[in-house]
Amino acid sequence: MADFDLQFCLHRFDEVCEKEFGQKYNLSKLERDFGHLRSEKQWLAAKHVNSLFDHKRTPFWRYWQKPDEKELDQTLRRDHLCLALPADDTRNRPLVQRLLEIFHNIGVVSLVLRFAHPDRFGTFSTPVAYLLQIHRETVLELYLACCAELGQWQQHFKMESVAATETALWTFHKLATGSARIKPSVELRAQFDADKWIQRRRASQAIRPLVEKYGPLELAWILAELNPKWAGKIAGEEYERLLRCAARRFYPKRKWDFENDRWAQSLISEMERNKQILLEDVVTLKKVWTARNRAVHPSDELSSVEVELMIEGVERICQPWEGGPKKK
Over residues 123-151, the pLDDT tens digits come to: 999 999 999 999 999 999 999 999 999 99
Residue predicted with more confidence, 325 or 156: 156
As a whole number of angstroms, the distance between CA 17 and CA 60 comes to: 12
Looking at 177, 210, 243, which one is the last position of a domain? 210
Element (H, E) at 221: helix 216-223
Same domain flag for 96 and 233: no
Written as one string, the DSSP assignment of 130-172 is HHHT---SSHHHHHHHHHHHHHHHHHHHT-S-HHHHHHHHHHH
Q: Are residues 146 and 194 in the same domain?
A: yes
Share above pLDDT 70 across residues of the chain, in percent, rounded to a whole number: 98
Is residue 328 assigned to a domain?
no
Number of domains in the chain: 2
Asked if 263 and 256 count as a contact pair (C-beta separation under 8 A), the reply is: yes
- 10 Å CB burial of residue 308 (0-12, 13-18, 19+) is middle
Q: Does a structural domain hold residue 306?
A: yes
Instruction: Kindly state whether residue 311 falls inside one of the protein's structural domains.
Output: yes
Question: Do 12 and 155 share a domain, yes or no?
Answer: yes
Q: Please indicate, yes or no, if residue 327 is contained in any of the structural domains.
A: no
In a domain, 1, yes or no: no
Residue 84 is assigned to a structural domain of this protein: yes
Q: Report whether pLDDT(328) > 50.
A: no
Residues 51 and 131 both lie in one domain: yes
- pLDDT exceeds 60 at position 326: no
> Are 55 and 200 part of one and the same domain?
yes
Which of 157, 189, 210 terminates a domain? The answer is 210
Neighbours of 21 (CB within 10 A): 14
Quick check: is 82 in a domain? yes
Same domain, 199 and 269: no
| Cα–Cα distance measured from residue 277 to residue 63, given in angstroms and rounded to the nearest whole number | 63
pTM, whole model, 2 decimals? 0.86
Report, as an integer, the average pLDDT of 271-300.
93
| pLDDT of 106 above 70 | yes
Higher pLDDT, 212 or 113: 113
Q: Which long-range contacts (CB under 8 A, 24 or more apart) does 297-302 make?
A: 301/229, 302/228, 302/229, 302/232
297-307 mean pLDDT: 93
- DSSP reduced 3-state for 187: helix
Kindly state whether residue 49 falls inside one of the protein's structural domains: yes
Q: Say if residues 112 and 99 touch (Cβ distance below 8 Å).
A: yes
Claim to verify: residue 80 and residue 147 sit in the same structural domain: yes
The pLDDT assigned to 3 comes to 87
Which pLDDT score, from 0 to 100, does residue 280 have? 93
pLDDT exceeds cutoff 80 at 327: no
| Residue range(s) defining the domain that contains residue 77 | 6-210
Q: Which of the residue ranges 183-187, 289-293, 324-328 would you say has the lowest mean pLDDT?
A: 324-328
Q: Considering 158, 180, 210, which residue would you say is the last residue of a domain? A: 210
Is the pLDDT score of 158 beyond 90?
A: yes
* Neighbouring residues of 194: CB distance < 8 A, sequence distance ≥ 6: 1, 4
| Same domain (yes/no): 238, 266 | yes
Judge if 181 and 39 occupy the same domain.
yes
Same domain, yes or no, for 178 and 230? no
- Give 249-253's long-range contacts (Cβ < 8 A, gap of 24+): 249/321, 249/323, 249/324, 249/325, 249/326, 250/274, 250/276, 250/325, 250/326, 252/325
CA dist 74 and 65 (Å) reads 18
Is residue 115 located within the same domain as residue 166?
Answer: yes
* Least-confidence region, from 97-101, 240-244, 319-323, 324-328: 324-328
Q: What is the pLDDT of residue 120?
A: 97
pLDDT digits (tens, 9 = 90+) for 51-82: 999 999 999 999 999 999 999 999 999 989 99
Same domain for 206 and 241, yes or no, is: no
